[in-house]
Amino acid sequence: MNGDTRSFLSLASLPLPVKALFSAYLLTIGIGYLIAVLYLFLIDVEPHREMGMSVLQGTIHKYYGRRRDTRLEGMVRGSMGTYLTPAEKEQIFAWVESGATAEDFPKVKPVFDRDCIKCHSPTSGLNLIPLTKFEEVKRVTRKDLGESVKTLARVSHVHLFGISLIFLTTGLIFVLSSLRGLLKSIVVVIPFAAILMDIGSWWITKIKPVYAYTVIIGGALMGLSLAVQIFFSLYDMWLKKRALAGLKGNDT
């Protein structure tokens, strides 16, 4: 044996039930990834685009923040802004600029009660920042420093565990493909490097916004790696034999 999986097993030679199982899994993972990209667009890209930001600027805003603004002002200009009238936005901005004091909070509390707490409350089930009382609102009137360390730690460990397991399973299927050893090894390793690049750059971008570029590059590499693994695995299982048979037929 030379370490090449083709010497004892290949995707093309698998029994039909195993091919069906692997194919169903790969297609489900592919669809799930596309839905995840859609969710990312709706939650991160679209709100920042409505604020006039590019993907790069939105990434910087998310992790580094807009340090000339408070967190609340950024939320009102972004995703929360669609639920507020221009007059309500101005009320909130004026309250923040005047010092966001407890004495003046009753002037803006009706805005939060009417438009915000249906989503921003502990009972909403949406896991959003609660804005039901002054102490909670006051926390987001500090300078916007982007995602907190606590949030980054929570999201990072979930992504590292979850995405690594996905690439472990897709990689185990892909290593049975007919690609040659070195190229196959590169395609298997790249997504794990991309995960570390993407998630590691969240933390670095919080300090140096220029690393927002590597957040985007890492995310793109993950998607490309997954697409390559799924495509070549499905091709080997269902199309390669037919393609080779067609070539032999043309030769004769």
Q: Does residue 105 sit within a domain?
A: yes
Domain assignment present for residue 75? The answer is yes
95: containing domain: 69-139
The pLDDT of residue 183 is: 92
Cα–Cα distance between 73 and 78 in angstroms, integer? 8
The domain boundary residue, chosen from 139, 156, 179: 139
Same domain, 160 and 205: yes
Q: Is residue 50 part of a domain?
A: no
Q: Is residue 197 in a domain?
A: yes
Same domain for 152 and 233: yes
Does residue 251 lie within any of the structural domains?
A: no
Same domain, 40 and 161: yes
Tens-digit pLDDT string for the chain (252 aa): 444 444 457 899 999 999 999 999 999 999 999 999 999 999 889 888 877 899 999 999 999 998 888 889 888 887 788 889 999 999 999 999 899 999 999 999 999 999 999 889 988 877 788 999 999 999 999 888 899 999 999 999 999 999 999 999 999 999 999 888 899 999 999 999 999 999 999 999 999 999 999 999 999 999 999 999 999 999 999 997 665 555 455 554
40 and 151 belong to one structural domain: yes
Does 92 share its domain with 29? no
Report how many domains make up the chain.
Answer: 2
Is 221 in contact with 163 (CB distance < 8 Å)? no
Shared-domain flag, residues 31 and 109: no
Asked if 50 and 131 touch (Cβ cutoff 8 Å), the reply is no
Number of H helices, E strands in the chain: 11, 0
- 83, part of any domain: yes
Same domain, 108 and 229: no
| 39 shares its domain with 154 | yes
- Whether residue 119 lies inside any domain: the answer is yes
Q: What is the pLDDT of residue 144?
A: 85
pTM to 2 decimal places: 0.74
Whether residue 131 is found in the same domain as residue 160: no
Cα distances (angstroms) measured from residue 229 to each of 8, 14, 142, 187, 190: 20, 17, 45, 8, 11
Nearest to 63 by CA among 82, 49, 48, 76: 48
At position 158, the amino acid (one-letter code) is V
At residue 4, the pLDDT reads 47
Residue 49 lies in a domain: no
Nearest-10 Cα torsion for 40, 41, 47, 52: 130
3-state helix, strand, coil in the chain (%, to 5): 75, 0, 25
Picking from 95, 120, 139, the residue at the C-terminal end of a domain is 139
Last residue of a domain, one of 139, 167, 182: 139
* Short-list 184, 167, 199, CA closest to 232: 184
97 and 179 in a single domain? The answer is no
